[in-house]
Amino acid sequence: MSDHTKIRPTAPPLFQCLIAEFCGTFGLVFIGTGALVVNEITGGDITHVGVSLTFGLTVLAMIYAFGDVSGAHINPAVTVGFWASGRFEGQRVPGYILVQCAGGMAASGAVRMLFPAAGSLGGTTPSGSDSQSFLLELILTLILMLVILSVSFGAKEKGLLAGVAIGAVITIEALFGGPISGASMNPARSLGPAVLAGKIYSLWIYLIAPIIGALLAVPLYKVIHCNQEE
């Protein structure tokens, strides 16, 4: 097994990884959904392009900040994808997902405290049919996970290549997918705003579709990179 795919034996202690994942997810959800809320209350000062860049650049920053510690998954779908690819220990998956969701919830709580009049708290809801948004979220996450697997080392998103590539994909997908489904690609990103705003009717889309998309990316990655997995 190559260095690109094996699980690193010198992983940091779990508690450090969990703190890093909490902070990274908090930062992503707070800044990203905060930008959506500010854009709404200012009548579009940030613009849709600005919001998309905010999400992409925040992920880039979180990868640089926490990639060497926890891998900067900051997304339950990514954690599941790394586990399915054999790069991530199954015993760490529940803890990662728990703190990612907790970080997203805490971030939405902070946004609510700062902007109590905000309606959706930057949540993700379908603009068309549920099936359209479900399929779009699935495909967007599949593409994202495929890129992540291709540029990361083991179960860690780290380094200049990973940060730029992953941040760019999130920005691009948010640019065209945002007006349709919200371009969440991340259950933890959608969970907090939906729960705290009391708008959970379409939450199932953003919990299930990204997980399926991430899982489908794994065999596709292995087919594409089969000669590099030896």
Query: What average pLDDT does range 148-170 have in this prediction?
Result: 84
- The tokens describing 77, both together, are 């779908």
DSSP at 128: S
Q: Residue 20's pLDDT band (boundaries 50, 70, 90)?
A: very high
Kindly state whether residue 4 falls inside one of the protein's structural domains. Answer: no
Kindly state whether residue 3 falls inside one of the protein's structural domains. Answer: no
Q: Is the pLDDT of residue 3 over 70?
A: no
Segments forming the whole domain that contains residue 53: 14-228
Kindly state whether residue 101 falls inside one of the protein's structural domains. Answer: yes
Q: Is the pLDDT of residue 9 over 70?
A: no
Kindly state whether residue 52 falls inside one of the protein's structural domains. Answer: yes
CATH number at residue 69: 1.20.1080.10
Kindly state whether residue 8 falls inside one of the protein's structural domains. Answer: no
Query: What average pLDDT does range 149-171 have in this prediction?
Result: 85
Q: How many domains does the chain divide into?
A: 1
Q: Is the pLDDT of residue 157 over 80?
A: no
Q: Which of 178, 190, 174, 51 is nearest to 108 (CA)?
A: 190
Q: Is the pLDDT of residue 4 over 90?
A: no
Kindly state whether residue 35 falls inside one of the protein's structural domains. Answer: yes
Q: Is the pLDDT of residue 148 over 90?
A: yes
Q: Which residues pair with 153 in a beta bridge?
A: 156
Mean confidence (pLDDT) of the chain = 92
